[in-house]
Amino acid sequence: MTFNIKQLAIAAAAEMIVRDAAGEPQADEQGNALTITLHSPGTKEFQKARHAAEERNSARVFNRMQGKADAKQSADDKIKERAEFLAACTISFNNFGDGQGAGYELFKRTYSDIEIGHIADDVEKFLGERSNFKKKLLTSSPTTSGTLPG
């Protein structure tokens, strides 16, 4: 029997721990970890979000080559587009919000907020590492025998 290569597939989602700008993990008032659940690069949702971002970029490059004035991207546009991509890759915010709603619009607001830009930076890095989406292996319980051979 040959090895089934699909055993190396990554999980469809993973949770990223939210950290402050100094890299410290954050928790809510009850001590629950703040996390973000993200679609993995191995999902249609991620691929659709990446494709949309690449299409926007390609159109901008094409327009720039044609000398169109609207081809330049402002800093605000760049932040907005990045936030849209990250929001499309986000499944949920866990144990936090901004008190102004939920879902995609909350995700976009959060990722667009330059005062907490380190969160968007961390999400972008997390999404870029497929190893963050490694499936958990089912393992048997550890051996409790105190007897060593020899």
Task: For residue 17, give Cα distances in angstroms to 38, 52, 54, 90.
Answer: 11, 26, 27, 13
| pLDDT on residue 39 | 98
Task: Identify each DSSP E strand in 45-147 by its residue range.
Answer: 90-94
**CA–CA separation, 94 vs 148, rounded Å?**
45
Query: What DSSP string runs through 1-69?
Result: ----GGGGPPPSEEEEE-B-TTS-B-B-TTSPBPEEEEE-TTSHHHHHHHHHHHHHHHHHHHHHHTT-G
Q: Which amino acid is at 7?
A: Q
User: What pLDDT digit, counting tens, does each position of 24-72 carry?
Assistant: 999 999 999 999 999 999 999 999 999 999 988 887 777 777 777 666 6
Residue % of the chain over a pLDDT of 70: 88
Question: Using CA atoms, how far apart are residues 121 and 46, in angstroms rounded to an integer?
Answer: 17
Torsion sign over Cα 109, 92, 123, 26: positive
21 with 81: CB under 8 angstroms? no
Q: Model's pTM, two decimal places? A: 0.83
Q: How many CB atoms lie within 10 A of CB 13?
A: 17
CA 101 to chain centroid, in Å, comes to: 20
- Structure tokens that stand for 102 in this block: 């939920």
* pLDDT for the residue 145: 45
70-108 tens-digit pLDDT? 666 788 888 999 999 999 999 999 999 999 989 999 999
DSSP 128: T
Among all chains, which residue has been given the structure tokens 């691929």? Answer: 47
